[in-house]
Structure 1
Amino acid sequence: MKERDVSLDAVKGFAILLVLFGHCLVWNNLSATDPYIYDFIKAVQMPLFMMVSGYLAGLGRKERNLIQTGQLIAKRAAAYLIPFFVWPMLLHPTHPLREIAGILWQLDKGLWFLGTLFIVMVITVIAQFLASGIVKPQSAGEADGDTKNHGRGDRKTEALRLCAFLIILLAAYVLFFMQNRSGNTFLSPNLTLTYLPYYAAGYVWTAYVKRLELWCVPVRITKGLWWGALVVFLCFVIVFDLQKSESLSDIVLQMAAGMTGCFVCFYGIYRMKEGKMKEAFSKIGVRTLELYIFQYAMHAAFVRVRGLGDTQYSLYCAEGVLTVIITFLLMCIVSAAGVFVISKIPVLDAVLFGHLTQRNKREIRRS
């Protein structure tokens, strides 16, 4: 069994805690009035998830034929799309088909993260498949995906393959941009335009840059870049309104802040010294996707039953801080309990979380 990357789990755990805290602010109607903390959370939380997902996909990169590529997409479709379609049906039992039809044209009405993650994953997998077909391997080792110890010719091949991959990715990005400009909202192209760069950045880092050892900068310089990025990101949060997306300049600003913030959080948490805090983050990160899905269900049910809070106080007062802390703790407890219970029931684990493991399949057949 492959050993888990504890540091990567810690990054995922940190990201889901940002989501939980952000939901606390939204539920208490504090996100609109907070000019700093929610801007920080919104700029990083989902971009960081996408970057980590791309990072993981890049680690598993290998050359695949057409059938293997199709099998990979089918496997990811089961994991992402089963909960994507099942949860809206459960939350809207009186008109499930109408709800699903609406979600297809506006993904953010449902589990948009899973839908968008599936789309950017498919784009990346197809781009990698086409790039590998265009630039043929020059050695048997490279044909198997082993590029770490290649000679100069093989590294040149990988560099050309990276160029082909980026060109194909750019072409796909342009197509989604044209769809978005046309007013066609099928599969929410605006979300793909927003999050594909983060997924692609994580993928390229592990699939090409890290594998070919292209980043040879000394650690002290990398740390210096991290401190510089931290200062820049804090300036983004303090000076600009990162929640506004009314113009192209707003979107570009959000993208710049998101990329900078993702680097700050990813590198900062990944390189954090081992200790109780990092261990806690890593334990939470093992169940990141399940926590996100359960959070969506809680959020949807909460808003339908109660609506958003009508509080008038500020986050920066004793009452605001106490309310957020209590909400956050309750949310963590309920989410952890919900995920634990669902994961122990094979049928629910498969249908609600998309875990079609061999164990779950066997238990489903028996029942």
Structure 2
Amino acid sequence: MMKKDRNQFVDIMRGIAMLLVVLGHTMTGCTVDSQQSLLFNIVWSLQMPLFILISGYVTKYSCTIWNVKGLFKYIKRRTVAYMLPWFVWSFLIRGIVFGQKGFLDIKSLIWNMDSGYWFLATIWSISMIFGVASYVAELVGKDNNLKKQMTLLIVYILGMVVLASIGILLGMSFFAIKLTLYYMPFYYLGYLYGQYDARILDCEKGKRIVEFVIASSFIIWLFVILRISIYEMPDNGFAIIMRAGISLAGCIAISGLSKGLFTNKSDFFRGGAQLDRCTFSGNLLYALPIIMPGKNKKQLSHMQLDGEKSNFNKLCDDSDINNTGCKSHKQQQMFCIFIDGKEKIKIFFFGLGKEVWKYT
């Protein structure tokens, strides 16, 4: 059974990223010169950056690392989650079961991680640096959020410097250091947005800014992706920065457009999994009392629909209220009201799947 506070949109985006990865590998394995196609260019620009962005974003749901014990617990959990599958699939499955001797040569494998499951090593390395940075930030910043965020960023950048130094000494291919350094900014940006997205989207100005960023990102990404193959771009400084910027723009655009597509059509139908307080349903002729634990009764006196104000003239009796809301009226039910976690009352009409009135 799915938890009612689970972010289903994150699961949707994970599913999209997984499908993109499968499509990308299928194209390279089954289609001649697929890397030169527009479809592959689109897929390659999104698949792994989107995964890493999501990984950074979901850190908002992780437990805070308060002490050394919590840090070691975090390291243990992440190591088991990422490095155990890497070991099993690299050595046991491909090395022993499939008889691919290259996966039994530890030195060769560690210096050529991109031949196998490099992304597990990359996400593990990023998680380790981020975990240490989070612990130091909590230790130094305490109740000062700005100080905490600045400390986390500084330690995170220092982690990148240490990783780059190891790469210079042992080679950038060692333990996928080059790829890890490339994706670390994506992880941090995902984390940063996760920390402030609710605050940004809570005001109209913030929503407008997000919409502008999504639209601009889509235009930039589409303009470049139709003209340049970012997969074939060289690995020099400018090309790497440009490739990362285009991929980031594409991820922002796809995530924003997907959120609008899935949430607008499915909020009503997924409402049962998202309800935080109560659910009420009834006919347009009736007003419904809004009862919340520990709060006074609130009344909807009117609603705005298609420019016309419809007055309510009757309340449900208290006896008509049960644990799930107003009992059904004999009249045809036409709308549904639910209260989300922010105590905003939204009215959705059956079949429309869109918000037509909101009371705060």
Query: Same fold judged by TM-score > 0.5?
Result: yes
Structure 1 272/110 Cα, relative in aligned 2: closer, same or farther at 3 Å?
same
Tell me, yes or no, if the aligned pair for 1:31 and 1:38 is still in contact at 8 Å.
yes
Structure-1 residue corresponding to 2:26: 24
- Provide the C-alpha distance between the structure 1 equivalents of 2:206 and 2:191, rounded to a whole number of angstroms: 22
Residue 250 of structure 1 is aligned with which of 232, 239, 251? 239
Distance 1:235 1:29, change over 3 A: same
The answer (yes or no) to whether the contact 2:137–2:151 under 8 Å persists in 1 is yes
Matches of 1:121 and 1:45, distance apart in 2: 19
| Partner SS state of residue 28, structure 2 | helix
Structure 1 CA distance for aligned equivalents of residues 36 and 201 of structure 2 = 44
Alpha-carbon contact 2:53-2:187 (below 8 Å) kept:
yes
Rounded Cα–Cα distance in structure 2 between residues aligned with 1:71 and 1:212: 30
Which of 52, 55, 58 is equivalent to 2:54? 52
Separation in structure 1 between the aligned mates of residue 152 and residue 206 of structure 2, nearest angstrom:
28
Give the CA deviation at 1:236: 1.9
User: Which residue of 28, 33, 36 maps to 1:33?
Assistant: 36
Question: Are the equivalent residues in 2 in contact too, given 1:88–1:99 (CA < 8 A)?
Answer: no
- State TM-score, norm by structure 2: 0.65
Equivalent in the alignment of 1:158:
145
Alpha carbons of structure 1 residues 231 and 63: separation in structure 2 relative to 1, 3 Å: same
**TM-superposition CA deviations, 1:190-209 (whole Å, max 9, x none):** 01111111111111222x32
Q: 2:285 maps to which residue?
A: none
1:136 to 118, 142, 146: 142
Match of 1:69 in 2: 71
Choose between structure 1 and 2: higher helix proportion.
1
Contact conserved, 1:11 with 1:265, CA < 8 A, in 2? no
The SS at the match of 2:34 is coil
Q: What residue in structure 2 maps to residue 114 of structure 1?
A: 120
Aligned to 2:133: 127
Residue equivalent to 2:159: 172
Higher normalized strand content (fraction of residues): 2
Q: Which runs of 5+ in 1 are unaligned?
A: 138-156, 279-367
Bigger relative CO (Cα 8 Å, ≥ 6 apart): 1
- Residue from 91, 94, 117 that aligns with 1:91: 94
Q: How far apart are the structure 1 equivalents of 2:14 and 2:33? A: 25
Distance 1:271 1:100, change over 3 A: farther
Give the partner amino acid of 1:169.
Y
Partner Cα distance (2:266, 2:257) in 1: 13
Question: 1:223 and 2:211 equivalent?
Answer: yes
Q: Distance in 2 between matches of 1:274 and 1:209?
A: 20
The answer to whether the 8 Å contact 1:7/1:271 transfers is no
User: Residue type of the partner of 2:257?
Assistant: G
2: distance between equivalents of 1:213 and 1:233?
23
Which structure would you say has the larger Rg?
Answer: 2
Aligned residue in 2 for 1:306:
none
Q: Given the alignment, which residue of 259, 262, 269 partners 1:270?
A: 259
Kindly state the Cα deviation for residue 55 of structure 1 after the two structures are TM-superposed. Answer: 0.9
Amino acid paired to 2:77 = K
Residues 214 and 231 of structure 1: CA distance in aligned 2, closer, same or farther (over 3 Å): closer
Tell me by how many angstroms 1:71 deviates: 0.6
Deviation by residue 1:123-155 (Cα, 9 ceiling, x = unmatched): 111101011112233xxxxxxxxxxxxxxxxxx
For normalisation by structure 1, the TM-score amounts to 0.64
Deviates more, 1:188-197 or 1:95-104: 95-104
CA distance in 2, matches of 1:171, 1:46: 24
Distance 2:257 2:155 in 1: 32
User: Displacement of 1:63 after TM fit?
Assistant: 3.8
Paired residues of 2:167 and 2:177 also in contact (CA < 8 A)? yes
- The secondary structure found in structure 2 opposite 1:240 is coil
Deviation of the 1:14 alpha carbon: 0.9
Secondary structure of 2:223's aligned partner? helix
Q: Deviations over 1:42-92 (max 9, x none)?
A: 111001001111111222242421111111110111111111011122212
Q: Is the 8 A contact 2:122 2:180 kept in 1?
A: yes
CA RMSD in angstroms comes to 2.5
**Count of paired positions:** 257
